[in-house]
Chains A and B, each alone.
Chain A
């Protein structure tokens, strides 16, 4: 276990090298002047009225590619992700501001996707080929075929526009004003948690109200995926001999399923979790735009519309690192769930 972990951690720099090289290769399609923003560390340089030629020389943009790559990575290690013209601030600062919102959204989404998907998968597997199973099958096909932005728009029109549950955004206007006050401490950048930590339950509740529908919009397709996986895996497990043994012992069916079958059937679902995190990050781009939810996804879209390269690269880098770490955690979780897995 320790050996495996150290081996995985040792290959991490190599993986990071490939990731940064891939991302940096995108920069090469730009000319040196367009490339500048990727290297600029802060507002002082932007406001300093320094001629571009001087900046090009300062950041070595007239030097060979590997020198530029080296300079870029050195900047990254010092926390310099470049200057984002579309956000009007350094990319690092913008990500620190917007990323917690996306994490909050993903957490609420995950709370719907995993318990909901696993429960539905279990229910339909137990009622295999009966009415609930067949209804669920049709529902999952519909859920997979329904684009996130269309489902999001439907929710927006019906729940926000018609029923007036909330206004698009992360918070209502009064709460938005309240969190900008100096007396409100931003511990995590997630308003539900910050609201609780500051003792402002009204703000936490308001933030939660604005989270539910966007999270629902991108959870439905993923919920269907988790449900299908749980169902087919559980159906397979229920035919195993040890399940028959458990039944023969006279255990309650409920116990057989929960303690014997489901536990083993969940392994493929754990494997799936990595791709779900990736799809949630992708989905965040869409639902955040639909619901005007200012998180990293919307930051990426705004940057893309404004051809703001440094913002896109910084966000890509952050996402790449998240995915790499998620995969590492999932491989380790796999061991926890299945002691028979051998780590090489």
Chain B
């Protein structure tokens, strides 16, 4: 509660929180905001027409349509659900894996730690985006495949951070005293080590939700993410690529095809980044005094 108050008191933190809550509101009320014509497949972007040219905002399509008649407003509203789904699922699962692997490895020490860290290094040594592209081709098209690919390569940074935290905590006196009264090793880990080592992981998670959504959007933008026509912000920008340069003499003729989806992605990612940034200051006791001190964050 105390931390929440501190976040709200900081203007940037408050802005982040408001952005996320706004998007959560849109995602929750999507069926009311624009009811799907086919309730069985709400995530297929509704088509207003089959016109090959984009059409500007009108009463029929509030934010206009992309080429092919896809309703931009519909795609943005329903796409918010997928943004949350990708961000939250990927981060929750990778956090769990990373924390357990890195944490238990470091707690056990010796060979276990060495193996976990070498595997982490191997995964770390590859550009995340390219790794995910490779995985998503191996797995096939679709949002669930993208989520799986992001999970496969996403746990590594949590393992890293968790490891260094556990290494710092496991030699502390309170751990040794708990062990001396006969507490089992596994219980010791979950009761005393984990709760004292997990906060930096939460900070990373908050920053990571935004980053994950950004990567997923990039994949769809590149055409290796979700299926065509699926409500996904990155894909909507992909749709707009043919119209970017406008027509001769009218460079911004089709502005609505990229401006609205871009605003959606940027505000969503910005919300999580702001929140993570403030959370880092609030949760880190070393930095508590000055909210304007920044710290390195693993990429």
Contacts and interface: CB of A to CB of B under 8 A. Distances in A.
Interface of A: 18-19, 22, 26, 29, 129, 133-134, 137-138, 140-142, 144-150, 153-154, 156-157, 160-162, 225, 228-229, 231-233, 235, 268, 272, 275-276, 278-279, 281-283, 285-286, 289, 300-301, 304-305, 307, 309, 312, 315-316, 319-320, 323-324, 327
A305 B223 contact: yes
A324 B138 contact: no
29 contacts: A29-B138, A133-B292, A138-B12, A141-B273, A142-B270, A145-B210, A147-B265, A148-B218, A150-B265, A156-B244, A156-B245, A157-B258, A225-B299, A229-B296, A232-B294, A268-B296, A276-B299, A278-B125, A281-B127, A289-B221, A301-B222, A301-B224, A304-B133, A304-B137, A305-B222, A307-B137, A319-B126, A319-B130, A320-B125
Given A161-B251, A300-B133, A327-B125, 20 more contacts: A29-B138, A145-B269, A145-B274, A146-B266, A147-B217, A147-B265, A157-B245, A161-B252, A272-B296, A275-B298, A275-B299, A276-B299, A278-B299, A289-B221, A301-B222, A304-B136, A312-B137, A319-B130, A320-B126, A323-B125
Nearest to A167: B245
B165 interface: no
A157 B277 contact: no
A304 B128 CA distance: 15
B129 interface: yes
Contacts of A283: 129
A133 B290 CA distance: 13
Contact of B222 (A142, A146, A231, A304): A304
B86 to A, nearest CB: 14
B294 A22 contact: no
B222 A286 contact: yes
B293 A147 contact: no
A272 B290 CA distance: 25
Nearest to A149: B221
B17 interface: no
A145 B137 contact: no
Contacts of B270: 141-142, 145
B84 to A, nearest CB: 17
B273 A145 contact: yes
Interface string B197-219: 00000000000001000100110
Interface string B222-261: 1110000000001001000000111000011000001000
Given A157-B258, A160-B245, A301-B224, A323 B126 contact: yes
Contact of A278 (B126, B134, B221, B224): B126
B266 A282 contact: no
A225 B273 CA distance: 13
Given A153-B244, A157-B258, A279 B295 contact: no
B216 to A, nearest CB: 10
The A interface is mostly helix, strand or loop, or mixed, namely helix
A137 B295 CA distance: 11
Interface in B96-147: 122, 125-130, 133-134, 136-138
A141 B122 CA distance: 29
A124 to B, nearest CB: 9
Nearest to B217: A147
Contacts of B234: 149
A51 to B, nearest CB: 27
Interface in B60-119: none
A315 B126 CA distance: 12
Given A18-B122, A145-B210, A147-B218, A129 B290 contact: yes
B45 to A, nearest CB: 19
Contacts of A154: 262
A147 B129 CA distance: 13
Given A150-B265, A161-B244, A312-B134, A228 B122 contact: no
Nearest to A137: B292
B126 A232 contact: no
A184 to B, nearest CB: 29
Contacts of A145: 210, 266, 269-270, 273-274
A140 B294 contact: yes
B138 to A, nearest CB: 5
A307 B140 CA distance: 9
A324 B217 CA distance: 28
Contacts of A29: 138
A156 B240 CA distance: 13
A265 B158 CA distance: 26
Contacts of B262: 150, 153-154
Nearest to B136: A304
B130 A285 contact: yes
A129 B292 contact: yes
Nearest to B130: A282
B222 to A, nearest CB: 5
A195 B258 CA distance: 36
Given A22-B122, A307-B137, A147 B266 contact: yes
Contacts of B290: 129
Contacts of B299: 225, 275-276, 278-279
B251 A162 contact: yes
A32 to B, nearest CB: 16
Contacts of A286: 129, 218, 221-222
Contacts of B266: 145-147, 150
A140 B252 CA distance: 28
B137 A153 contact: no
Nearest to A235: B293
A136 to B, nearest CB: 9
Ranked nearest first, the 10 interchain pairs of A and B with the lowest CB-CB distance are: A282-B129, A282-B127, A145-B270, A161-B245, A145-B273, A162-B251, A161-B251, A145-B269, A281-B127, A278-B127
